[in-house]
Amino acid sequence: MSKISQHGQWSSRFAFILAATGSAVGLGNIWKFPYITGENGGGAFVLVYLLCILAIGIPIMMAEVMLGRRGRKSPVNTMRDLAKEASASPLWVWLGWLGVIAGFLILSYYSVIAGWAMAYVVRVASGTFEGATADGVSNIFSQFIADPEKLLAWHSLFMIVTMLVVARGVKGLERTVKFLMPALFVILILLIGYAIDQGSFEEGVYFLFNPDFSKINSDGVLTAMGHAFFTLSLGMGAIMVYGAYLPSKVSIGSTVVLIALADTLVALLAGLVIFPIVFANGLEPGSGPGLIFQTLPIAFGHMAFGSFFGTLFFVLLVFAAWSSAISLIEPAVAWLVENKKMSRMRACIWAGLITWVVGIGTVLSFNLGSDIKVFDKTFFDLLDYLTANIMLPLGGLCIAIFAGWVMSKDNSAKELNFHYSWVNGIWRFLIRFVSPIAVIAVFLNVIELI
């Protein structure tokens, strides 16, 4: 197996950390984490979430990076080669395909939601929400998603800026995340300063970090478990293909721990931005997915310098979505380059165009096609459910099984290269037993809800 991917490699460990953190940090951290924390009582949910990151997310992420670096190719070809190396069934190649297809489908609707964030940058900056009432903000949002032409325009713009980065290869990815990730943290710090000055910061901190276990139930635990898994971009091929570009001498274990810490830090900082502002304005922290697009604009519209800091918040949301989007399409582009002998530019055009076309289904599911349903779900709801609740857990489960039970102990130890043998023993126990059982628990919970 080649020591360096034909697509190139990251220039340093720091570059990989930024890229993988960028892949992990996305709408899930800034949009989803705050509202599911609000729905599940705050501090107790956060504590369970952190424990799940430690016991489930980090071991599986180490495994996925390890498989990627061992194979040095797209997820499909990596799994084909690793299955052959382990004298295992060639059907393991479908684990690679599962990741590629999941990433492709997620980006098709992710781009539409990211387009909303781009549109809100313009709307907040222009003062649209200044003095707006709750009904007024709700009407603005409803009218926006009811207009297919506007949604399509923003979806198209986001896909174009994403593919322009991916077309430049590993160097393009690296240069972009070196700008995006520091900018994201700077904006977060500025917004926290704003929350301290303008919000009920102590109340927000208390809500986020004071565990009241009477407010969390078994469903909340499973939600925390599922989100810990999904927030690290596991099971969608992105981390595996980024691992393929990782230099051989870089320690996977310590690097993955840093990435998980950075990803978790962003989620917690986002909570420290959002909850003080929500409480200062008497809004409901558990108001669901509308927290970002329908609740926060009310707050920003009634606070000093709200338009400026509201604009910063939605720029942050766009940056987070962009850093994830470039990783979601990379596995498909890498496969086209390897198997169809396409130039990288041509592969990006085809992959981007197909993703854009599929995304039109999501655009229409909020307006003209809202009445078209399969299993009582719109096109968007169906894609979201299929990927987040079925494809990703299944991918993560298979990664854990392959790394823990199929790949030889010597090969995994060689790639992970832990400094202490007892650390490798803990990882093997987690990846062979704890992580699979936890993912199966999430999976069974999803099946019960069908």
Q: For 129-156, what is each residue's pLDDT tens digit?
A: 999 888 899 899 999 999 999 999 999 9
Query: Taking the model in full, what pTM does it have?
Result: 0.92
Model confidence at 450: pLDDT above 80:
no
Model confidence at 15: pLDDT above 70:
yes
Q: Which residue has the tokens 């197909």?
A: 354
Confidence tier at 361 by pLDDT (50, 70, 90): very high
Highest mean pLDDT: which range of 47-61, 288-302, 350-364, 430-444? 350-364
CA pair distance 439, 393, nearest whole angstrom: 6
Look over the chain and give the mean of its residue pLDDT values, rounded to a whole number.
91
For 110-133, write each residue's pLDDT tens digit. Answer: 999 999 999 999 999 999 999 988
**Domain-wise residue ranges, the chain:** 13-449
Model confidence at 322: pLDDT above 80:
yes
Confidence tier at 289 by pLDDT (50, 70, 90): low
What integer pLDDT is reported at residue 67 of this predicted model? Answer: 97
What integer pLDDT is reported at residue 393 of this predicted model? Answer: 85
What integer pLDDT is reported at residue 389 of this predicted model? Answer: 78
What integer pLDDT is reported at residue 215 of this predicted model? Answer: 82
Contact 298, 278 (CB under 8 A): no
The stretch 30-36 carries a mean pLDDT of 83
More confident position, 181 or 447 = 181
Model confidence at 445: pLDDT above 80:
no
The verdict on domain 13-449 having CATH code 2.70.150.10 is no
For 183, other C-beta atoms within 10 Å of its C-beta total 14
